[in-house]
Structures are given as structure tokens and as C-alpha cells.
Amino acid sequence: MNKTKGESWIYFFLGLACFLIPGAVAVFIAYDRGISFAPVFMFAGIVIWGGLFWLFPFIEKKVRKSQKKITFDERDQLIHKKAVMAAYVVLWLYFVAACVITWCVVGPHGSISVNVMPLTLLGGLVIFTLAQGLATLIQYGRGGKDGEE
């Protein structure tokens, strides 16, 4: 498993975790409507996403600095580029869906909480991460026919 593929697995599972944790919190909030955990949840989400997801490559780069072995080449670069493009498409579809669904749910004369805006943005970031990781893994073929044994 090369560097990019390893990172993609991490991105994928981090993205998935960022979905599952807020999902569980949302269920809890729906169950207990008396107290709103939205600000706490948002803060936790940003810390998890921003801290772990963004800092990991820098930490990993520091650790691997001493190694001179080639771990990233033109093929990895091409795969990364395609994955980012795919993630942008998914992100765009997500924002379109978020807008349309909100309009359908609250109606043309309804109103929504301002908390929905940062939550939508956070969801977009997570969706982007998840889609990029998944697209990268699909392009690597999960190591099957590439014979990365």
C-alpha cells in the first residue's frame, strides 16, 4: 500500500466517522428536544474534522521525512487530481440537494435556523473528504488487480 492509498483509507474512515458521530448526536437531539446540543456538536465536529483530518498529513510528512523511498509519483498525482474533481462534483450536488430539500421541507414562506448554515457547510466539507477518499480508492482498484501484495 503506497502513501496516497493509505491516506485515502484514513480520509474515508474519518469522513465516515464524521457522518456517524453527528448522526448519533442528531438522533439524541431529536429524542431529547429539551436541550439543544447543536453548538457543542458543531464545535466537536470542527475540532475532529479540522484537527485530525488536516493535521494528519503534516504529522505523517514529519515522520516520513527521513525516508528517501519514492511514495508519490505521476500516477498518484493523476489519481489525486481525478479524485478531487469527482469530489467537487459530489460537493456541488450536495449543495444543490441541501438547498432544494430545505425549500421542499420548509416551503416558500418558511424559515430556518441560522444553525443550519454552518451545519450545511460542515456537511459539505465532510462529503468532500468522503467522496475524495472513495474516488481515490476506486481508482486504485482496492489493490486487487494492481497486485500490490
Partner 1 sequence: MAKNELNNQVRRLRFEHGQMTQQQLADKVGVTRQTIIAIESGKYAPSLPLAFRIARTFGVPIEQVFVYDNEL
**Who contacts 103 (Cβ-Cβ below 8 Å, separation ≥6)?**
none
Residue type, 57: P
For the bound state, the minimum distance from the C-beta of residue 69 to partner 1, rounded and expressed in Å, comes to 9
Cβ proximity to partner 1: between 3 and 84 the closer is 3
Instruction: Identify which range of 18-26, 49-57, 95-103, 138-146 contacts partner 1 by CB under 8 A.
Output: 138-146
> Could you say which residues in the range 1-40 bind partner 1, by CB under 8 A?
2
User: Which residue from 3, 123, 110 is spatially nearest to 57, judged by alpha carbons?
Assistant: 3
Cβ proximity to partner 1: between 51 and 141 the closer is 141
DSSP state, residue 145:
T
**Who contacts 101 (Cβ-Cβ below 8 Å, separation ≥6)?**
none
Decide if 12 contacts 53 (C-beta within 8 A): no
For the bound state, the minimum distance from the C-beta of residue 89 to partner 1, rounded and expressed in Å, comes to 23
> Could you say which residues in the range 61-100 bind partner 1, by CB under 8 A?
70-76
Main-chain phi, psi angles of 146, to 5 degrees: -75, -15
Cβ proximity to partner 1: between 32 and 146 the closer is 146
For the bound state, the minimum distance from the C-beta of residue 145 to partner 1, rounded and expressed in Å, comes to 7
148 sits near partner 1 (criterion: CB under 8 A): yes
Cα gap 71→68, rounded to integer Å: 9
For the bound state, the minimum distance from the C-beta of residue 77 to partner 1, rounded and expressed in Å, comes to 10
User: Which position has the grid cell 450536488?
Assistant: 93
Judged by CB under 8 A, the number of residues near partner 1 is 13
Q: Note the residues at the interface with partner 1 (CB under 8 A).
A: 2, 70-76, 141, 145-148
